[in-house]
Structure 1
Amino acid sequence: MPPSSLRVVYAFAREMHPKTTDVFIQYGTAGFRTKASLLEHVVYRMGLLAVIRSRVKNGRTIGMMITASHNLEPDNGVKLVDPDGEMLEQSWEEIATRLANVSDNDLESTTAQVIKEVNADMALKASVYIGMDTRYTSPRLAAAAVHGVIALKGTPKEFGIVTTPMLHYCVKCRNDNTYGTPTEEGYYEKIVGAFKNIRQKLPVTGDYSTTLYVDGANGVGGKKLNIIRKSLDGELDLNLYNLGGNGGKLNLNCGADFVKVSQQPPVGVEHVAFQRVASLDGDGDRLVYYYLDDKNKMHLLDGDRIATLLASYITQLQTACNAPALTIGLVQTAYANGASTRYITQELKIPVTCVKTGVKHLHHAAMSYDIGIYFEANGHGTVVYSQQAKATISKIAEEGEPEERKAAQLFLNFIDMTNETVGDAISDLFLVETVLCARGQNATQWMAAYDDLPCRQLKVTVQDRNAISTTDAERQCTAPEGLQTRIDELVSHYTSGRAFVRPSGTEDVVRVYSEADTQENADKLAAEVAQAVFDLAGGVGTRAEIPA
């Protein structure tokens, strides 16, 4: 690309999307995420990078999603989606961070330097898909993304308001036409169509009820389910709450993250004893379930519970298909409840891999199996299937014995219902409802599989989150000196005690997790570890300001 073309990059930035802050912003586990007022120049520059990435990938489509997921409404963010619908290749995260933080005066030369580094053929066509969530700042940021794409002569396509998983799905379909149609309607046709097909084969039996309450977090996922429910033909009766009306604020005291972390039911939802409730997050990529008992106590069915439910059913289908050669594995993070890990390995006899927090790490680990199930405890996860697995199951559906063919056809519908590109609250909701229906189970029976260890999560505001270093899938702290020794000492005082700390990928806080034999002990252990972090890792403010 001639220098005159790169001058357009600088001119666009200076005149329309100037860098107005010196705040350093880093590409984290889910892209850039911070106050929306700090992001316009960053999103513009990611439009540039998306075009470069598309050309490095021989013109394949790259995605850009404008969202801050489960964060509150004043925040926003942007992340890039690679051609297979996966997160941006990790080696490019440093490039994204560098490009986001250079001055406007250095943007032209830095862009040229990046193009040279990655050996991008700027003569190739470039395609970028752009989606956004429901935040009031998203349209302005999406416009900045479009300008960035156009500045390097790429072709943007705007999808408007979509869930994050819908954009991942569309990017995958655009680059692999065997996966589906790259539109929102194509998503409904595949995911919802497979659900309806499978439910027609599964009569409602036992204690399963087709009624499901849903907390939409006042975000995009609830809005899309409101569209979907009109086409479900009675297979699932969705009662939707927190759809963004009546003054409800995005993710405020509602949504999957609030329910998981606070272990409280969301506001804005009508509650009936033992009625299962599905709670989505703001951009529709996380899902947790819960119910209140007749004493108004909340029982949480989080990502661990979803993972174990799906894994047990998938092994059941594998056995019914008579496909023992297919390898099945489950991937977790350190946040997974210890009781779930024991249940998976000892009861289900499925191997477990533990990786660093961040769905990109889980996704790649899951791909080492023919059938890889991965979920973070926060409810972000999915199932991925190798081509070998799909081919094997398809062959059985055509050539197997009658009962094997029946099971294999069911399995193929289950696969079609799965958004394999990324964790997807809507797809995962349909997967869960399918398994519960197939087994005739209600939420209490699902909960009865094993007993969770009581746990607690806290966060500590620090001057610099990079003062914390970890190893062993974030289960051991290597810096600052003395912190892991202190954590080990605190844990030793509690029955079934476990605790770890890790730096946030998006803000200057250190996240603390604890488990113990009672909730009181889990709470005490978390508070003690948080104090140790505060003392040894440069806590900000006073101890009383350490928030839950």
Structure 2
Amino acid sequence: MHLDLVGGEIQPEEEMDFDTVAKYSALHAKPPGLSSQYGTAGFRTKAENLDHTVFRMGLLAVLRSKQTTSTIGVMVTASHNPEEDNGVKLIDPLGEMLAPAWEEYATCLANAEEPELQTVLSDICQKEKVDLQHSAFVVIGRDTRSSSKELSQSVIDGVSALGGQLQDYGLVTTPQLHYMVCCRNTNGNYGRATVEGYYQKLSKAFMALMKQAVTERDGHLCLKVDCANGIGALKLKEMEHYLPKCLRIYIDNDGSKGKLNHLCGADFVKVHQKPPVDLEMKINEKCSSFDGDADRIVYYYNDAAGRFHLLDGDKIATLISTFLKELLVKTGQTLTLAVIQTAYANGSSTHYLEETMKVPVQCAKTGVKHLHHKAKEFDVGIYFEANGHGTVLFSKAAEDKIRHQAENEKDNRKREAAKMLENTIDLINQTVGDAISDLLLIEAILALKGWTVQQWDALYTDLPNRQLKVKVADRRAIDTTDAERQAVTPPGLQEKINALVKKIKQARAFVRPSGTEDVVRVYAEADTQENADNLAHEVSLAVYHLAGGVGEEPKPIG
């Protein structure tokens, strides 16, 4: 049951109308005792438990919009989660993740019992000095889950209850809604705030880069894409009409018969180290996978011996940073460039970047918001999580210098390099990881270099690795430092890990608490898969015995 909008839009009011809020809220009542927490990806849980949460995020989006005097986004999605789940997250003015203080407000608001709702809203307004006389504008998007349309309507009710204006973009990828928010808050400088504007901006930049590419000879520009039976399939099909015929995309898992994220998608491929079930792959055929909301991408292929090769976020960051550094050198620009990784990045990628490419590498805590924040410290900051979520950030100063050089440089070689950088900037969705944008950038780079996916893969060989998790009574028993690479508590755990690592060649291991459940995540890598597996097992035992393990003791792998 929902209250309808009158005339399509609700006009802003000068003060909070708690009677109206209470009336709407009664239609989206919170089940007593139910609690949740706003994480890096917002709220995620079973769809049937989300109605009150998404309604309240509509309320919060209005307050955030009034406080920042800008458009705020609300996306209904659960990304790579199973189809029965759903979620919601807010998008800040420049298309970035919600500010940390407002994450806390989101959690507090979602967990408030019905009688407390008015008090919590008033507290937020007071703490953040929200001027209720300011107008509010909220844009809304959703993925293809069966629950998403109704939950989007609940968001609309929340926006309407506080007198906010809104635009519902309907079915869009998560990165597309981030793009819309940025466009609206930069007066169109970032692009036109329409789906067509998104396609036109990316396709124009892609085709400009392709004009300088090696002509297609060996199928470099043929690509099979597993879209996880999600929104990416719908949007990639629409995008194809804007792209040149030299790029041939074959869409698999398009939602016509399979379940969202079930035995397919970027997360499945990354975790299981194998292609999606039922995906037909020819020998050395270039393939890629999106996740359910199209903000992650990974590449892969099977070689002639039938071995599976995964090119994950580390390989993508390496390819892009190599390309950008070469262009920057050609322009003669003295801009700072760095790759931002997490502790999960494969050691071989870090070594290749630092030792071969002479590209600085920085490590940030796990979570896109930490990577994004760190990338902002450089003129050109490239970040990708190993799972394939990532993008490139260009500082305003760097972008201005590049565009000025592309327009005014007298030296032909430098001017052409600057123009390629300019087109690359326009091809990248700087607001957030974007599978469609990243796919086009990767394909352009491979075409410009005349490389096959195998040549890209050969830049370096990943060290064998293993990820495990250990159930514990309380994940807070583990505390870490040094971007989660060193355990501070419990006493003796880091010393034990150090001793285990010393015994094995090229070994590295770390542990970190899960952000959502009472488990400790273990990562280990070494010179052989057997050594990586043994190291992961031994570290798991140390966690079990020193950090309050529950249930059965971890068993050896295999």
Decide: shared fold, TM above 0.5: yes
Deviation for aligned residue 1:302: 0.6
Equivalence for 1:37: 48
Q: Are 1:375 and 2:374 an aligned pair?
A: no
Equivalence for 2:368: 359
Deviation for aligned residue 1:505: 2.9
Give the 3 Å change call, closer, same or farther, for CA 537–252 of structure 1 in structure 2.
Answer: farther
Identity of aligned residues (%): 51
Deviation for aligned residue 1:545: 9.9
Deviations 1:337-388 (A, max 9, x none): 1111111111111111110111111111111111111111111111111122
Equivalence for 2:112: 102
| Counterpart contact for 1:459–1:547, Cα < 8 Å | no
SS, match of residue 241 in structure 2? helix
Deviations 1:513-537 (A, max 9, x none): 1111111221222233334434444
Deviation for aligned residue 1:150: 1.0
- Where does the alignment leave 5 or more consecutive residues of structure 2 unmatched? 1-12
Deviation for aligned residue 1:538: 4.4
| Counterpart contact for 1:51–1:154, Cα < 8 Å | yes
SS, match of residue 329 in structure 1? strand
- Opposite residue 208 of structure 2, the aligned amino acid is N
Equivalence for 2:298: 288
Q: Which residue, 6, 14, 18 being the options, matches 1:6?
A: 18
Quick one: distance in 2 between partners of 1:174 and 1:269? 39
Q: Are 1:396 and 2:389 an aligned pair?
A: no
1:435-454 matches, within 5 Å, as: 435-454=445-464
Equivalence for 2:200: 189
| Counterpart contact for 1:10–1:105, Cα < 8 Å | no
SS, match of residue 231 in structure 1? coil
SS, match of residue 368 in structure 1? coil
| Counterpart contact for 2:544–2:554, Cα < 8 Å | no
Deviation for aligned residue 1:469: 2.2
- Opposite residue 509 of structure 2, the aligned amino acid is A
- Where does the alignment leave 5 or more consecutive residues of structure 1 unmatched? none
Moved more, 249-258 or 454-463: 454-463
Q: Which residue, 248, 253, 262 being the options, matches 1:252?
A: 262
Equivalence for 2:6: none
- Give the total of aligned pairs: 544
Moved more, 263-272 or 200-209: 200-209
Quick one: distance in 1 between partners of 2:266 and 2:555? 24
SS, match of residue 362 in structure 2? strand
Quick one: distance in 1 between partners of 2:32 and 2:301? 45
With normalisation by structure 2, the TM-score equals 0.93
Quick one: distance in 1 between partners of 2:378 and 2:250? 37
Q: Which residue, 61, 69, 89 being the options, matches 1:50?
A: 61
- Opposite residue 199 of structure 1, the aligned amino acid is M
| Counterpart contact for 2:339–2:359, Cα < 8 Å | yes
| Counterpart contact for 2:340–2:375, Cα < 8 Å | yes
| Counterpart contact for 1:6–1:112, Cα < 8 Å | no
| Counterpart contact for 1:469–1:480, Cα < 8 Å | yes
SS, match of residue 157 in structure 1? strand
1:228-307 matches, within 5 Å, as: 228-246=239-257, 248-307=258-317
Deviations 1:209-265 (A, max 9, x none): 21101111111112211222233231210011111122x111111111111111111
- Opposite residue 353 of structure 1, the aligned amino acid is Q
Give the 3 Å change call, closer, same or farther, for CA 203–444 of structure 1 in structure 2.
Answer: closer
| Counterpart contact for 1:276–1:289, Cα < 8 Å | yes
| Counterpart contact for 1:68–1:77, Cα < 8 Å | yes
Deviation for aligned residue 1:81: 0.6
Deviation for aligned residue 1:463: 4.7
Give the 3 Å change call, closer, same or farther, for CA 528–275 of structure 1 in structure 2.
Answer: same
Deviations 1:3-26 (A, max 9, x none): 87123223322x211111524311
Deviation for aligned residue 1:294: 1.4
Quick one: distance in 1 between partners of 2:281 and 2:40? 34
- Opposite residue 79 of structure 1, the aligned amino acid is K
Quick one: distance in 1 between partners of 2:100 and 2:556? 31
Deviation for aligned residue 1:543: 4.5
- Opposite residue 9 of structure 1, the aligned amino acid is V
Q: Which residue, 518, 540, 544 being the options, matches 1:530?
A: 540
Structure 1 outlier segments of 4+, above 6 Å: 1-4, 544-548
SS, match of residue 17 in structure 2? helix
Quick one: distance in 1 between partners of 2:501 and 2:46? 36
Quick one: distance in 2 between partners of 1:154 and 1:534? 51
Give the 3 Å change call, closer, same or farther, for CA 142–547 of structure 1 in structure 2.
Answer: farther
| Counterpart contact for 2:14–2:133, Cα < 8 Å | no
With normalisation by structure 1, the TM-score equals 0.95
Quick one: distance in 1 between partners of 2:123 and 2:180? 31
Quick one: distance in 1 between partners of 2:486 and 2:307? 34
Quick one: distance in 2 between partners of 1:465 and 1:2? 45
Could you say what the CA RMSD is over the residues aligned between the two structures, in angstroms?
2.1
